Structure formats: structure tokens, C-alpha cells
Structure 1
Amino acid sequence: MKRKIIFYENYFMDFYLSQESKVQEKIQYVLELIRQVERVPEKFLKHMEGTNGLFEIRIAFKSNIYRIFCCFDDGQLVVLFNGFQKKSQKTPKQELLKAEKIMKEYFESKSEEK
């Protein structure tokens, strides 16, 4: 099984390119896991409660925690949105709102293409 992963706009790449190379390697590892494994462990991919289909990709490197928001489209596609370094236990509300806004924008742009 291979999931196709796409990046919507530059949100993810801007985040990714701002990270040091070891963090980038860890991100690549987790993305490859999501691409290959049918049932991805919650340690790496978790549904965000109270959202309409938003997931967070979970990356831990040394003592740092990183999150990348995404969603599925057509069952296989993982669309990557914004990412951030997590500083506390709770996901920052503004990051969640930003991800929901980007997801809405993605699906609206997709429906305009049809």
C-alpha cells in the first residue's frame, strides 16, 4: 500500500525548510511511514478531536515536539498543511484554527477546479 502525499500551497514546505537537517530527516521518516503503513500508530498520526477530518502528524526529536496538520482526501491522499514546534501539552488554538482555515481553502479550491 502506498498513500500519495501532497503539499497544499507552501505552508508545509516553509515549515520543513526552516528546520535543521536532523529534524527534516525525522519528518521524512514519519511521512514515509504514513505513506507505507496501512494502520499508522497514533504515536505518529492522530485525529484531532472536535475537528472535521483534521489530523496531526506527530514528530518527536530529542526533547522537541513537532506537529504537522493534514487531512485525507479521496481515502488515500494526505494533504499537508501548516506545521509548528509544540511548546506545551495543549495544541495552540491559533495553529488549529489556521489548519482548519487552510483545509477549508484546500477543499474550496478543489471544488472550483471541477
Structure 2
Amino acid sequence: MEKKRRLIFYKDYFNDFFDKLPEKVKGKIDEVLYMIMVLERIPAKFFSHMTAYDGLYEIRIEYSSNIYRIFCCFDEGSLIVLFNGFQKKSQKTPQKEIDKVLKIKAEYFEEKNKQNKNGKK
């Protein structure tokens, strides 16, 4: 299947989260990430814009009554940058997780802008 989007993992934030998960949860996350890459329209059940936070999206995964969220954003059109993830244990996304991802997102774009100013891509 042709890819509609490309995923990158910013630093080790996502991998640190992913590596600690049970194998079956990792498999489910892999399935959802694949869907995000290849489907023209991603079902809202798996991917949604966090309207209160400019340009921030969350990938939603449910497995065996557990809920996981992975924060991400778009960059350069069809590039999706994955940041950190966490296991959701309450109805509302914890503010500390939002604060953390906003800091990571700002760090990503700062680094990118510095690289562009230095002539690197």
C-alpha cells in the first residue's frame, strides 16, 4: 500500500514509552501507526486534533480496557512527528502530560529552526 504520510520519532520520547509496554499493546500501536501512514482518511477513533493546543494531535489506542495516547504534530505537510506517549487512567488527559508534550514540541521546532538557519536539512 502506498504511504500517505511519513512518521518520524523525535528523540527517544516515544521509544522510551513504547519499550516498556507489553508485546500485545506494541502490536496494536504498530497497527494504528500503519493505518495512519496508509489510509487517506484516518478514523477519528484513532486520531484527533487537540483543538485547545495549536497543531497538537493525539493518537488513540485501546487494548484490553486500557487506553494509551501518543502525542504528535504535522510538519512539512504529510510528515507526522511522534512525541511522547502515556497510559491514560482518567477521563481527562492529565495536565502534566500536556505540559510535557508542549515543551517537547517547542524543543522540536526550535531545533529544526536552528538547523535551517545553519543551512542543514
- Normalised by the length of structure 2, the TM-score is 0.92
Match of residue 56 from structure 1 = 58
Identical positions, percent: 57
Q: Partners in 2 of 1:104 and 1:67 — Cα distance?
A: 19
Matches within 5 A, 1:4-23: 4-23=6-25
Matches within 5 A, 1:61-72: 61-72=63-74
Q: Partners in 1 of 2:74 and 2:100 — Cα distance?
A: 17
Structure 2, unaligned runs of 5 or more: 117-121
How many corresponding residue pairs?
Answer: 114
Q: Could you report, residue by residue, the CA deviation over 1:42-74 in whole angstroms, capped at 9, with x for unpaired residues?
A: 100010121010000000001100000000001
* Secondary structure at the counterpart of residue 83 of structure 2: strand
Matches within 5 A, 1:1-114: 1-2=2-3, 3-114=5-116
* Secondary structure at the counterpart of residue 68 of structure 1: strand
| Offset of residue 31 of structure 1 | 0.1
Q: Which stretches of structure 1, 4 residues or more, deviate above 6 A after TM superposition?
A: none
| Offset of residue 91 of structure 1 | 0.4
Q: Partners in 2 of 1:104 and 1:52 — Cα distance?
A: 11
Q: State which structure, 1 or 2, has the greater radius of gyration over its C-alpha atoms.
A: 2
Structure 1, unaligned runs of 5 or more: none
| Offset of residue 82 of structure 1 | 0.6
CA-atom RMSD in angstroms = 0.7
- Normalised by the length of structure 1, the TM-score is 0.98
* Secondary structure at the counterpart of residue 18 of structure 2: helix
* Secondary structure at the counterpart of residue 24 of structure 2: helix
